[in-house]
Amino acid sequence: MSDKNPKDVITAYKTLKNIIIDYKIDVVHGHARIPCFILNLIRKSINFRFVTTAHWVFSLKFPYKYITKWGDRSLAVSDDIKKYLIDNYGIKPGNIRVTINGIDTQKFSKNTDYTEVAEEFGLTPEKRRIVYVSRMDIDRSLAAHKLISIAEKLDATDVHMIELNISCPNVKKGGAAFGVHCDSAETITTAVRKATSKPLIVKLSPNVTSITDIAKAVESAGADAVSLINTLLGMRIQIETRRPILRNNVGGMSGPAVFPLAVRMVWQTANAVSIPVIGMGGVSSGADAIEMMMAGASAVQVGAAIFTDPYAPIRIIDEMNAWLDAHHIASVQEIIGTVQPW
C-alpha cells in the first residue's frame, strides 16, 4: 500500500485477502493503523490470528479511534504504550506483551522454543505461515524490484561483475532508502545475490552512523566486495532567491574535500570485513590512490577528477607506477593495508 486513498485501501484489501486464502496464512502481523484496519475487515470473512505492534500513540479523534484495531495480541515498545492501549482502547493487560524499544531478538531466533505459541494459536509445523503486513513507499518498492530484475538480466550477459548502488543521495527516494540501515541493506543485497551469480560489489553510503555495521550486513548477505564511499549529503542555497541551488534541495558532494573522510571509512571497513574493499571519494592523484590502498583498499575508483581531467585515471596509474619504482616495490599488492596506526 503506497497511499491512504480509498482506491489503494480497496486494492490492499483484495490483495491481502487473496494472499491469506491462497497461502493458508495462520498468523498475520499488522503494523500501522491503516494496515490493521484492513486486516480487521478481512478477518470478518476469514479465520486467522491477528497480532499488532504499537510503537507510538495515535490520534483518538473521531473516526480514528474507532477504526483502530489491535488484533488478538499486541506488542508494545514500552510500559507507557501498554498503559495507553489499556486506558484508551480497553485492551486486556494479558493481551499485551512489552518489548522495550522494539523486538527482543534473543527471543526470536532459530533456537527459540515456539511450542507454547504454536499450541496457543493452534499451529502445526506443516502449515505454519506468518506474514508481516505494513506499508512500503511505492518508490522504494519499485526501486527494489528494478534492482533485482536488472541483476537477473545482467546475469545472462558477458559483464564480469555488478556494482549495486544502494546509497544514491541524488534522487528523492530510491537508493538512499536501502543504504542507511543494516536490515534494508542486507535485505536488498540478499535479493540481488539470489538473482545473479556474477561477482557482486555493494556501494556504501557515508551518510550513516556506522559504515562498518552496514558493510558487515551486506557481507553476511553475500556481497563479494564493498565499494566506498559514495558522496556525502550536502546543500547550497542561492542567497538572492533563498532557494536551494539543486532542485532536489540536497545532493551528493564529491571531490578532494571528501578524501580524508573516505580514507578513514575505507580503513575502518577494511578492518571489519573479510571481503575486498574498493576505495573511492576524492581520489585525484597517484599519491591519493596509494594512500587509499595503504588504508586497506584492494582497488581504487576515480570519479569527480575525470570531470576536470578526462585522462585522470591514466595519469594516476602512471604516478602510482613511478612511486612504486622509486620505492623498489614490485607490485601494488604489497602496499594494501600497510598503514601503521599510532
Spatial separation of the C-alpha atoms in residues 107 and 111, rounded to whole Å: 9
CB 33 within 8 A of CB 67: yes
Long-range contacts of residues 109-112, Cβ cutoff 8 Å, at least 24 apart: none
CB 188 within 8 A of CB 178: yes
Spatial separation of the C-alpha atoms in residues 183 and 337, rounded to whole Å: 28
Residues belonging to the chain: 342
CB 290 within 8 A of CB 323: yes
What's the burial of 108, exposed, middle or buried (CB within 10 Å: 0-12/13-18/19+)? exposed
Q: Which residue has the cell 564511499?
A: 229
Q: Which residue has the cell 526501486?
A: 143
- What do you get for the CA distance between the two ends of the chain, in Å? 53
HEC string of 74-104 equals EEECCHHHHHHHHHHHCCCHHHEEECCCCCC
Spatial separation of the C-alpha atoms in residues 311 and 305, rounded to whole Å: 9
Residue 207 CA, chain-centre distance (Å), reads 12
Q: For the chain, how long is the longest CA-to-CA vector? A: 79
Residue 190 CA, chain-centre distance (Å), reads 11
182 is catalytic: no
Taking residue 233's Cβ as centre, other Cβ atoms within 10 Å add up to: 15
- Of the residues 27, 151, 162, 168, only one is catalytic, namely 168
Residues with catalytic roles: 168
